[in-house]
Structure formats: structure tokens, C-alpha cells
Amino acid sequence: MNNRDIVLTTSTSSGHALVMTEHYMKSWDKAVLYYRAWHRGSPGHKAIVVLHGNGEDSSHYLGLSNQLGLEDASVFAWDLRGHGRSGGEPGYARRFDDLVEDAQSFVKVVSVTYGIALQDMIVLGQGLGGVILSAWLHDHKPDVGGAILLCPAFGPRLGVPLPRATLHLLRRADPEGYVRLRPRGPAMVDDRCGEQQPAPAFAGRLGVRLLASLFDTAKRVLRGAGRITTPTLILSGGSDRFARLRPQRRYFEKLGASYKRMEVFPGLSHRLLQDGDRFMPILHMRQFIREILASPCRGSRMAESLP
């Protein structure tokens, strides 16, 4: 497992080149996971931790650090197991909780390796990553600074006539089988968060076992959302053909956080940060992150610092 440094061609406003490093880590069950780090290395620095969506990998967020324009924040993004350069069969996990435990392992690696406190972290989850993030907040109750959910897939549209009851029957009959998720409507735009690089077609294949477990986890998290007190921003696409909007609104309404916001952007698709008109989502993210990281009381105690 070799690590290497790559100097990006872009620069920060201070004129210093931003260095991206590539790493491998061992997760809770010894699975090998790949991650990228845009580490600024300055004292008292903060971090944005990214959990990507299904069919993506960390390369889809190459331009995120520069787009956010946060001089004091590093960015860390890992490839989910079965995605990108991480180990594992594409789209496969024994259970959804494996991905949740991977999130716990990754955040711990970032905190210990780079000396960043949990309250100095904002964790971002896109689509499938949003459900992983929500389940992690629910199950582990980490005192992170804040959470950003981009089109969380609490109710994914399968794009095939497959009722959930049938899905659970398939899990019993063929637990190692797969279902290909096909988003309805026009294809999703994908230009790697502003970086002009070739992107593969949407590869939405998920194992039957994992997909059934996803629905079970989403139901459990929605039921227990009132226990989550982490400051949260939810951004949704009005033209999202993959993740249903109603469960996202339900999660927001039940969320126990005193500091929470939700915005729906008409005309934008499931991948908000890869859409051509991504300026407004980026603006809302930047404002939320700055408010959280500027607060003397972060995490679940942030409400204490509000006027």
C-alpha cells in the first residue's frame, strides 16, 4: 500500500499550490480502503470529510476544496468498499452496517493521523453516502461539528418494477445477486466537480443483500432521527430522479438538531455538485461550514452559542 503526493495545477488565494495525497487504510474488518487528502497542515485547521454516492468515487470531488474556498479547511474523501480503488466486489457489502463502520474507521484515521478534533470536522454525504452518514450519526453519536446531506437516498427509486417485499424475498433466494439502479429521466451530468476529466457512466449496481439492508437502515434512521442532534444542512435536487424528496423532508422534520436547514433547488438533479448550475448549492455549503466552524460551541452544543 503505497502513498504518493500529487501537486494540483490549481492554487489557493494565498498563492500556495494545494497538494493532494493518496493513501490506503485498513478498516475495522481489515478491508483495504483508498482515500485522498487535500491537507493544508496549518495549526488549528479544520476538515471536510466526504462520503460519496453509489456509482461514484473520491475522484468526483477533486475540485471541491477549491470551490468551497475555505483557506483553513482540509478535505478528505475515501472510496467506499467496492468503489474506485478500494477493495471489494463492486456494489457489494454483506450488510449496510459494514459501510457505517467504515465511516467510523475513516473518521478515526483522519482524526488520529492529522490531529483534527471531531468538533472541527464537517462530514458530507452524497446520496448513498448521505444514508451512511445519517446512520453513523444515529448509531455512534459522534460529536462532529456538523453534517451536510446532499440528496440522501432514504427512498431510492429503483427504476425497475421491484417492490421492497420482493427485494427481501430475493435476499433469501439469491443473497449474492445484484440489482442495477437506473435513475429515471435524463442522464445525470458528471464533470467531476468542475475538473475537466473523463467520467464513467453511472454504475448504479448494488447487491441484493446491500440494497435490502439500505431500505432497512433508512427506515430505522428515519424512525430515530429525533435522537440526532448534530447541526445539519440538507440540500436536495428538485429534479432528482434517484432519491425521493418526501423521505428527505420527513428526516428533516424529525431531526432532533436545534440548528438545521433544508434547501430544495428546482431543476437540479441527484448529483448537485456535478450539475451545471451548482453555484447555489456550493454557496449554501460554504455559508453553513463557515458558520459552524466559526462558532465557539460546535456539534450538539452549537445552539448554546446562537443569539
> For the chain, what percent of residues have pLDDT higher than 90?
51
* 131 within 8 A of 154, measured Cβ to Cβ: yes
What tens digit of pLDDT does each residue of 127-144 get? Answer: 999 999 999 999 999 999
Looking at the DSSP bridge assignments, the partners of residue 26 are: 32
Q: Which domain holds residue 210?
A: 4-295
Q: Does 184 map to a domain?
A: yes
φ/ψ of residue 38, rounded to 5: -110, 85
Give the CA radius of gyration of the chain.
18
The pLDDT value given to residue 33: 96
The pLDDT value given to residue 67: 86
Specify the higher pLDDT residue, 148 or 293: 148
Residue 55 clears pLDDT 50, i.e. is over it = yes
Q: Does 269 map to a domain?
A: yes
Hey, what amino acid is at 189?
Answer: V
Q: Does 253 map to a domain?
A: yes
Q: How confident is the model at residue 93 (pLDDT cuts 50, 70, 90)?
A: confident
CA-angle at 228, arms to 255 and 272, nearest 5°: 65
Residue whose C-alpha is closest to residue 95's, from 151, 42, 28:
28
* 274 within 8 A of 192, measured Cβ to Cβ: yes
Residue whose C-alpha is closest to residue 302's, from 73, 138, 145:
145
Q: Does 85 map to a domain?
A: yes
Count how many Cα atoms sit within 13 Å of the Cα of residue 204 in the half-sphere of its side chain: 20
Q: Does 301 map to a domain?
A: no
Please give the Cα distance from 17 to 6 (Å, whole number): 10
Count how many Cα atoms sit within 13 Å of the Cα of residue 194 in the half-sphere of its side chain: 14
What tens digit of pLDDT does each residue of 214-238 get? Answer: 888 999 999 999 999 999 999 999 9
Q: Where is average pLDDT lowest: 8-22, 129-143, 178-192, 291-305?
A: 178-192
Residue 271 clears pLDDT 80, i.e. is over it = yes
Please give the Cα distance from 300 to 291 (Å, whole number): 14
The pLDDT value given to residue 284: 96
Q: How confident is the model at residue 70 (pLDDT cuts 50, 70, 90)?
A: confident
* 260 within 8 A of 289, measured Cβ to Cβ: no
* 290 within 8 A of 72, measured Cβ to Cβ: no
Residue 184 clears pLDDT 70, i.e. is over it = no
Compute how many other C-beta atoms are within 10 angstroms of the C-beta atom of residue 301.
15
The pLDDT value given to residue 23: 95
Please give the Cα distance from 305 to 307 (Å, whole number): 7
What residues have CB less than 8 Å from 139, skipping those under 6 apart?
97, 100
Q: What is the pLDDT averaged over residues 89-115?
A: 92
> For the chain, what percent of residues have pLDDT higher than 70?
73
Residue 1 clears pLDDT 70, i.e. is over it = no
Residue 187 clears pLDDT 80, i.e. is over it = no
* 214 within 8 A of 242, measured Cβ to Cβ: no
| Lookup: cell for 190 | 458528471
Please give the Cα distance from 187 to 4 (Å, whole number): 34
Q: Over the chain, what is the mean pLDDT?
A: 81
Total-model pTM:
0.84
Count how many Cα atoms sit within 13 Å of the Cα of residue 15 in the half-sphere of its side chain: 0
Compute how many other C-beta atoms are within 10 angstroms of the C-beta atom of residue 235.
27
Q: Does 208 map to a domain?
A: yes
CA-angle at 140, arms to 98 and 210, nearest 5°: 25
**What is the tally of structural domains in the chain?**
1
The pLDDT value given to residue 298: 63
Residue 169 clears pLDDT 80, i.e. is over it = no
Specify the higher pLDDT residue, 5 or 107: 107
Q: Does 219 map to a domain?
A: yes
The pLDDT value given to residue 198: 36
Q: What is the pLDDT averaged over residues 247-257?
A: 96
Q: Does 306 map to a domain?
A: no
Find the CATH number of the domain harbouring 75: 3.40.50.1820
The pLDDT value given to residue 105: 97
Which of 78-82, 183-187, 190-194, 267-271 tops mean pLDDT?
78-82
